Copies of this chain bind each other. A is one copy, B any other.
Amino acid sequence: MTTRTEPRPAKLTRKGEQTRMRIVTAAAQLMFDNGVAGTTMEDVKEAAQASSSQLYHYFADKQALVLAVIAYQDETVVGGQEPMLARLDSIEGLRAWCGFLVQHQRDLECRGGCPIGSLGGELAETDPKARVAVSGAFQRWESGIRGGLHAMHERGELAADPEDLALTILAALQGGLLLTQIHRDVRPLEVTLKAMIDHVAAHTAQP
């Protein structure tokens, strides 16, 4: 599961890279708001203020654009959390990360769900390349969560398998986000993440 996305066209100019990124960010926002099926290449063209020739220069078809959006969300969502994930080697770090996740859903009024999970749920059965790309993003996320737990385990502070724990926390986060999106209520995410913190705390020597 290493093939995350198609290789980018090589040697983009600085301006070309900017145009490409403008298209990808516009597509990512549209797909977050309306789903992949609810987003046409025409919508993306308008939102990105790009010409058809620009759009199809960078992306042969909608599937290529979808893969670029998954890579972008991987970088934005998982990459953006990495400074916080790097501090998950304590209950306090876990609390700070969970607090951020809950506040972020409050800010969004519980709309949209997880930008990666939503893409995965919509595309898993119809676009095998997209499924593999989302699988890669989830593995990176799980690995980020696992790092701190491994450190706690190594230091003898955590008496539980960090592998299983990291996978459980990511699953609980995804399910909490889905229920929060569906009910338009932050409580499912809040309660589920609190249970995860308690679950980790029950296996640690930390307060």
This chain: copies in complex: 2
- Restricting to A158-207, which residues have a CB under 8 Å from any CB of B? 164-165, 167-168, 170-176, 178-179, 181-184, 187-189, 191-192, 194-195, 198-199, 202
Q: List 29 A-B contacts (CB under 8 A).
A: A1-B183, A34-B125, A35-B125, A35-B126, A37-B37, A37-B38, A113-B121, A117-B178, A120-B178, A121-B121, A124-B182, A165-B195, A167-B179, A167-B187, A167-B188, A168-B172, A168-B192, A168-B195, A170-B175, A171-B176, A171-B178, A171-B188, A173-B175, A174-B174, A174-B175, A174-B178, A175-B175, A175-B178, A195-B199
**Which residue numbers of A lie inside 8 Å of B, CB to CB?**
1, 33-38, 111-113, 117-118, 120-122, 124-126, 131, 134-135, 138-139, 164-165, 167-168, 170-176, 178-179, 181-184, 187-189, 191-192, 194-195, 198-199, 202
